[in-house]
Amino acid sequence: MSASSPARTQQDWTRKRRWQRYALNLCLRITIQRNGKKTSVYGRSIEVAIGGMSCYAPIELLLCEKLEVELIFPDQERTQLMEAIVRNRKGHRYGLEFCTLIPNEPARILESCHQLASQKSL
């Protein structure tokens, strides 16, 4: 980084985000398919937004790898299954971008995030 460019702060990145992020610790299941074999592992969400999420998963995922992620909500009666692509990683922390969302999924994700965030603040 040169002396003329200021260090990026978390606030700088927050302003550039396309969607609001919600700090939610949800159980999730990630399923990948490699060499014709499906593998599933459980992990935890860190932040969730309409267009993607950050999460921890005890598996080696590859950048640009396509996978299925299933969010499991606290009541365990609701889940949401989506396709995602690995956009970044640091150790076992991954940034996932949701792809091929059907029309009602973004609204459902947003509603769930609002409900869980308001319960968390009570």
Q: Domain span at residue 62?
A: 19-121
In a domain? residue 86: yes
Quote the number of domains for the chain. Answer: 1
Asked if 21 contacts 48 with a C-beta cutoff of 8 angstroms, the reply is yes
Residue 26 counted as domain residue: yes
Tokens 């091929």 locate to 100
pTM (2 d.p.)? 0.75
Residue 105 has pLDDT above 70, yes or no: no
pLDDT digits (tens, 9 = 90+) for 5-47: 455 555 555 566 666 788 888 899 999 999 999 999 999 999 9
Residue 8 is assigned to a structural domain of this protein: no
Residue 10 domain flag? no
Q: What is the pLDDT of residue 56?
A: 97
Task: Tell me, yes or no, whether 110 lies in a domain.
Answer: yes
pLDDT of residue 31: 97
Q: Is residue 4 in some structural domain?
A: no
Query: The CATH number of the domain where 58 resides is what?
Result: 2.40.10.220
